[in-house]
Amino acid sequence: MPSSLLIVESPSKAKTLKKYLGQDFEVLASYGHVRDLVPKSGAVDPDKNFAMKYQLIPRNAKHVDAITQAVAAAEHVYLATDPDREGEAISWHLVQILNNKKLLKGKTAQRVVFHEITKNAVLDAIANPRDISQELVDAQQARRALDYLVGFNLSPMLWKKIRRGLSAGRVQSPALRLICERENEIRAFTEQEYWSIHLDSHKGRQKFGAKLFELGGNKLDQFDIPSEAIQADTLARLAGHPATVSNVDKKKKTRNPAAPFTTSTLQQEAVRKLGMTTDRTMRTAQQLYEGVDIGQGTVGLITYMRTDAVVLSNDALTEIRSYIEQQFEPAFLPKTPVTFKNKSKNAQEAHEAIRPTSIERTPAAMKPFLTTDQFKLYEMIWKRTLACQMAPAKFDTTSVDITVGEGVFRATGQVQTFAGFLAVYEEDVDDAEDEDNAKLPALEVGDVLPVDKLYGEQHFTQPPPRFSEASLVKALEEFGIGRPSTYASIISTLKDREYVVLDKKRFLPTDTGEIVNKFLTEHFGQYVDYNFTAKLEDQLDEIANGRREWVPVMETFWKGLAKQLSEKEGLSRAEVTTESLDEACPKCSKPLQIKFGKRGRFIACTGYPECDYTRDIGETAESAAAAAEEPTVIEGRTCPECGGALHIKKGRYGKFIGCANYPKCKHIEPLEKPRDTGVTCPECKTGSLIERKSRYGKLFYSCNTYPKCKYATWNPPVAEPCPKCHWPILTIKTTKRRGTEKVCPQKECGYSEVIAPPEAKEA
């Protein structure tokens, strides 16, 4: 019988650790959290120092039973849950359960922490156990209590004031506010015209361009040439003059490598470079951390993926520098290790950045053992880690001023003279940097150049872009909203609640999201205020560091929230969901208003129900009247349900065919017959996959026997079985990065085959 018991969170991690620890250890998994607050009001009692009522999570009851039986037979108990606050809290909950069952009499349950699942790290942790950190537990309990008090008090108010099924969250609501405020900025944006003046020239066979930056001795501002007429006048002033090189400025420039990945930067880079969502990124990173069978047993390939630290251990630095020394020329290895400073003031110094557990496990060597997602993420982590310890890249930069009459044009360029870290990890560059990277011919002061072309380019200012997952994660981190480990769940919640939708990989708030945000910002502004949320996160960090007690933090928070809840109880639904318009109803002349219904916002008459006038947001009264004048009748067909006439109608999601006897008869059908792909449904094997449109206009492909069979896929299907898992169909997927490829729709398979490479970028 094993004399020691090690408890971890994940069953896959348990298998890996069992191999390291041998026969003296039994390794069991808690399968995540074992207890949670009871799911009803009163689980957190503000009148009793925020006492919290917990219950066993039903799905994990059998795993807790297995742990309690093993504890009874073990001499030593080690708690090796994840090395963060949640992991500390899980260990604490397990000890509470074991103490309640009186199973720890004469035994000690000690905490062990390791940030990578390698044999040395695990054995070292076992040799150096510690007590459970009550400070970390208090910080996690405070976070859970705060989230509970917000959720169980603000969410019911949303149900009463807006509609059932909505929720508010301590960090999700400020994140929603970010998205909604960006949308308001875009709507309020007024584009502004401006022009730039350019010179095309050449020396020998090498062509190059320059941009006017000074005119009449004054440096030009972006809007100094605001119209086509002024642009034409400027060109006339410059025409006919020779182009002479008046200044050449040559400099040496270096670019340093980026720090190794933190949770936040990993999520941002995976979204931008790999096209992976934050949730998918964290799931894949978890798999790499917990362990993969690489032919010689299961081993964790990366260190713990929830970290805000950018430091690397001395052992890791020694191994990385040794690898660089062996694989690269001497110039690629700096004389001393490259160090990075943690940006987060509360970064836990005991944690490392996300890195490979061994740099010797190259992506090429690991590829046969990894899924497509695992390989792409591992390769990115490996390259970034290796690059961070390499020498800076070096460039020769040149800035040339060319005088044409009273104007001075500037051409800039740079040439890479030493690749440095860029030999391993190529960072993204924006368009402006691409311009700077242009190569220039050898130019000297006094050179007279030909004026091949003088011309103006029209531009318009652009509104701020909507948030992508990467830019939203960056904004959440900058504002201190939540912590990196929570970003994926924040984004998932916003999408699951249908507060936002993704349009061209950018977040667009729905009508529901905007109504919820408007209510919270107007009536509970303090709790969606970015500074307030960030300050609260700082206080949680101070609790974890032992510099603050958790109960006083809770008392201050609850006092303010309870007061506002009481003050807002009397608000009516109409006050929250309607908005007056300075426009009269075209039918009865009463004022119009914006209302909120099941399908979102719409314009309606305040005289309802006497007046039933409505129209869509964004639709003018004239267009609504024109559409309502004469319904288009479908000739030669009648309603299959009641025999009435069929009309072409217009709804929230476009035109459709409906019965003229609505609402007595509710028969509807699409205006256009869905295109049949001719591909047999792989799930039911009787239906055919047809092309449909989602409510947001995006194409997808689903079985024509719906709702009997609910199989669907976003990408166009082809009737070819997957060579890897033999699923009956493949789908065609096109991305800018990989081009067009055949992919298996089964996520766990990961098969892909490029059939057309991405289009080459213009030089």
Give the C-alpha separation, 164 to 155, whole Å.
9
Which of helix, strand or coil describes residue 142? helix
Which residue out of 20, 194, 304, 499 is catalytically annotated? 304
3-state helix, strand, coil in the chain (%, to 5): 35, 25, 40
Count of Cβ atoms closer than 10 Å to residue 196 Cβ: 17
Q: Is the peptide bond before 242 cis (omega within 30 degrees of 0)?
A: no
Residue carrying structure tokens 């006092």: 559
* Strand locations in 240-382 (E): 243-255, 292-293, 298-299
Residue carrying structure tokens 């990196």: 484
- Paired strand residues for 54: 37
Half-sphere exposure of 656 (CA within 13 A, CB side): 14
- One-letter identity of residue 482: G
Q: Residue ranges of the alpha helices (H) in 569-645?
A: 573-577, 621-629
Count of Cβ atoms closer than 10 Å to residue 216 Cβ: 11
Tell which residue, 451, 34, 386, 415, has the closest CA to residue 202.
Answer: 451
Whole-angstrom CA distances from 439 to 101, 396, 410, 459, 619 are 75, 10, 14, 25, 51
Token couple for 470: 């990467």
304 catalytic, yes or no? yes
Give the C-alpha separation, 91 to 77, whole Å.
11
Positive or negative torsion for Cα 210, 216, 217, 221:
negative
**Strands of the sheet with 730-735, listed across from one edge:** 717-718, 730-735, 739-743, 752-756
Token couple for 432: 């402006």
552 secondary structure, DSSP code? H
Contact criterion met (CB below 8 Å) for 200 and 207 = yes
For residues 622, 627, 630, 631, the Cα torsion angle rounded to the nearest 10 degrees is -170
Which residues are part of the catalytic machinery?
Answer: 304
